[in-house]
Amino acid sequence: MGVPTVSFEMTGAQPAAVLAGEWTLAGLRGRLDALKRQLASADAARTVRWDLHALTRLDSLGAITLWRAWGDRLPDGLDADPRTLDMLRAAAVLGPCRPAPRARPRRGDSLVALGRLGGALVAQLLGMIALSGQILFDAVRMLRFPQDAPLRELSANLYKTGVTALPITALVGFLIGVVLSYLSALQLKTFGADVFIINILGIGIIRELGPVLVAVLVAGRSGSAMTAQLGVMRVTEEIDALVTMGVPATLRLVLPKVAALVAAMPLLVLWTSASALFGGMVAAAVQLDIGFGFFLDTLPRVVPIANLYIGFGKGLAFGLVIALVACHFGLTVRPNTESLSANTTRSVVSAITCVILVDAVFAIATRHIGMPT
Amino acid sequence: MTAPVIDIRGLVTRFGNHLVHEGLDLSIPAGEVMALVGGSGSGKTTLLRQVIGLMRPQRGDIRVLGQPLFSGDLQADRALRQRFGMLFQQGALFSALNVLENIAFPLRELRWLDRETIHDLVMIKLAMVELEPRHAWLMPAELSGGMVKRVALARALALEPELLLLDEPTAGLDPDRSAAFVSLIRRLRDQLGLSVVLVTHDLDTLSALATRVAVLGERRILAEGTLDHVMKQDHPFIRSFFGAARPAAGGR
C-alpha cells in the first residue's frame, strides 16, 4: 500500500515527474487537494516526461485527477503500463464541460412561479372534473351491466373507511364534546345562562363540528390510505395490469372507494355527533349540574331537526370530496417514491381545504334553515 | 493463493421451523467469478443477503474481505460495506433521483469529493457501462430494463469495490441484451480486477461468466469447483439442472 505521491526531478534537459503509490479512491482520501496543487504548480508545467511506472494502482478518481490536471489530454512524454493507459484513456470520454452552476433566482421568477402554481391548480381541478365524469360513466355502465358492479370492493371499503373508523371518531368526538362543554360552561356560568349549554352544544356539534371533525379524521385516515394504495398500484403497474385484463380501473378501484365513503360519512357524522353530545352531556352534568334527563329532553326542543339533515348533507358532500381528491391524487402519482409521498401529503391537505371550502358554501346556503327562532 | 474474499463457516439459517442452511461452509477465492446455483427455495438469495449484511445468520461466521460484517465497530462496518458493491435483481435504483444522482449517491456519501469531481466520476462510470452522457438526466422510471441494470451496475462500481455481488444479473433481459450485459461484466471484471459472486438461474450466463460454481441444495453446498468439475458430480439435482438446460442452451 503506497501513499500516492508525485515528485518532480527538475535536473537535466528533460524535467520529469514521477508518480507513485495508490492513486485510488481509498488512497487519495485527504491527499487529493495537495496533489492537485502539486500537479498545477509551475514544476508540472515545465515537465516533459511523466513516469507512471511506479503507480501501484490507478482508478477512475486518479485518472480524472490526472486528466483534468493535464488539461483534458494525455501529455506527450507519457510513460505508463498498458493497464494504467487504459484507465487514463477511459477518462477521455469526459467532455470539457463541467456541470452547469445552479441557476440563481432572477427577478420575475416569483411571478412565473405564481403563474405555474395557478396553472397547476387549474390542471388539478380539470383532472378532478374528468375523474368525476369518469365515475359518472362508470355508474351508468354499472346500471346497464349490474353483474360488473364491484360489490365486494364496495363492502370492503365500507368496512375499511366506516366500521374501523368507529372507535377513533367516537373517542375524538367524546373528548371534543367534553372540552367544548367545559369551556362554554365556564363562560355561561358567569352570565347565569347555564341552560344554553344545550343550545350551544346541540347546534354547534350537530350542524358544524361533527361533520368537520369527521371529515378531518377521515381525510387523514382513509384519504391518505386511498392515495397511497392507488399510488403504489401505479408505481408497480398493477393498474396497467388491471386495465390489460379488461377491468376498467376507475370502476373497480375508484368507484367503490367514492361510493363507500359517500355512504359511510353521514353515518360516521351521526355517530361522532352523538358521541360528542354525550361527552358534552357528561361535562355539563359535572360542571353545571344539568341532568342527563333534562339535557335529552331539552335538546330536540332547542335544536330544530333541520340541523341533523344539514349535518347529513355535509357528511355526504365531504365524503364525496375526500374520496374524489384522494383518488385523483392517487392516480396522478408518478412512478417514484418522492411523487408518492408528495401526492399523499397533497391529498390530505387538499381534501381538508376542500372540505372547509364546501363547509363555507354550506354555511352560506343554509343560513336561513334550522336556526331556532 | 490469496485470502478468500468470502469465507463462510458453519452457517445456520432458520425461518421459523424451516431450516434453510445447516452447517454450510463456503470459501470464495479472490479474483474468481463464483456462481451460486440451486433450485428455488434452496436459499441462494438468502445466502447473498447474509453476505452483504442485510440478514444476520442464526449461527455461523461470515467473513467478507477478511473481516466480519458485524464487528460492533460502526465505522469499520461502514468502511467494509464501501468495499463491495451489490447489483440487485430489480436494480433498486432510487426512484426519486435521476441516473446521475443515483450513481453519485455513494460518492456523495463519502463527503470529501467536490461536485465537479463527482460529476466527472459519474460520467466515467456511465461510459464504463456503455451508457451515454445524455442518459444521466433520465429518471429510473424512464429507463428500459437493460439500462436499469447498467445504471445499477455503475452505482455498484462507484466506490471502486474489490468485490461485486450480482443477484440474477440477466433475469428479465432478452438473450441479446443478456449476452451484452454478461460481456460487459466480464470486461469490467478484467479491467478493474474484481472478484465477482453471482446468483443465477441462467445456464448461458453461468457458462459465459463463471470461473467457479457452487451448487446449493439440501441445506448445504452440494458441490463446488470449476464448471466442468461440478458437472461431473453425480447428484440428482446437478444432473437435472445442467442436464435439462444443456440441450436448450446448445440448440440456440
Max avg pLDDT among A72-86, A256-270, B193-207, B210-224: A256-270
Q: What is the mean pLDDT of residues A195-219?
A: 93
Q: What is the pLDDT of residue A179?
A: 95
DSSP per residue, chain B: -PPEEEEEEEEEEEETTEEEEEEEEEEEETT-EEEEEE-TTSSHHHHHHHHTTSS--SEEEEEETTEES--S-HHHHHHHHTTEEEE-TT----TTS-HHHHHHHHHHHHS-S-HHHHHHHHHHHHHHTT--GGGGG--GGGS-HHHHHHHHHHHHTTT--SEEEEESTTTTS-HHHHHHHHHHHHHHHHHHT-EEEEE---HHHHHHH-SEEEEEETTEEEEEE-HHHHHT---HHHHHHHHHHHHHHHT-
Q: Chain A: residue nearest B129 by CA?
A: A90
Q: Which residue among B120, B141, B191 places its CB closest to the CB of A94?
A: B120
- pLDDT-based confidence at A261, cuts 50/70/90? very high
ipTM: 0.78
Q: Where are the domains of chain B?
A: 4-83+161-250, 98-160
Which chain A residues are closer than 8 Å to B159 by Cβ?
Answer: 25
Q: Is the pLDDT of residue A80 over 90?
A: no
pLDDT digits (tens, 9 = 90+) for A266-306: 999 999 999 999 999 999 999 888 999 999 999 999 999 99
Contact of A348 with A337, CB cutoff 8 Å: no
Q: In chain A, which residue's Cα lies nearest the Cα of B127?
A: A93
* B125–A64 C-beta distance less than 8 A: no
Q: How far apart are CA B95 and CA B44, in angstroms?
A: 27
Quote the pLDDT of residue A60: 85
The answer to whether A335 and A235 have CB atoms below 8 angstroms apart is: yes
Burial of A139 (0-12, 13-18, 19+ CB in 10 A): middle
Residues of A whose CB is below 8 A from B110: 25, 29
Minimum Cα–Cα distance from B142: chain A residue: A335
The percent of residues above 90 in pLDDT, for chain B, comes to: 8
Give the closest-approach CA distance of B195 to chain A in angstroms.
Answer: 16
Interface test with B, best of A336, A340, A343, A344 (most B CBs within 10 A): A336
Residue in B closest to A87 by C-alpha: B191
Mean pLDDT value of segment A31-52: 83
pLDDT at A55: 84
Higher-pLDDT residue of A121, A13: A121
Question: Which of A30, A32, A336 shows the shortest C-beta gap to B96?
Answer: A336
Residue B122 has pLDDT above 80, yes or no: yes
pLDDT above 60 for A117: yes
Q: Nearest chain B Cα to A61, which residue? A: B121
Residue type, A83: R
Residues of B with CB under 8 A from a CB of A: 94-96, 110, 112-113, 115-117, 119-121, 123-125, 127-128, 133, 139-141, 159-160, 191-192
Contact residues on chain A for B191, CB-CB shorter than 8 A: 86
pLDDT for residue A130 is more than 90: yes
B120–A68 C-beta distance less than 8 A: yes
CA of B7 to nearest chain A CA: how many angstroms apart? 23
CATH H-level superfamily of B4-83+161-250: P-loop containing nucleotide triphosphate hydrolases (3.40.50.300)
More confident site: A302 or A249: A302
**What domains sit in chain A, N to C, each tagged with a CATH number?**
5-93 (3.30.750), 120-365 (no CATH)
Mean pLDDT of A310-314: 94
Cβ–Cβ of A68/B159 closer than 8 Å? no
Chain B residues with CB under 8 Å of A26 CB are 160
Q: What is the mean pLDDT of residues A319-343?
A: 92
Given an 8 Å threshold on Cβ–Cβ distance, is A59 in contact with B116?
no
Residue A87 Cα, gap to closest chain B Cα (Å): 8
Look at B119 and A99 and tell me if their CB atoms are within 8 Å. Answer: yes
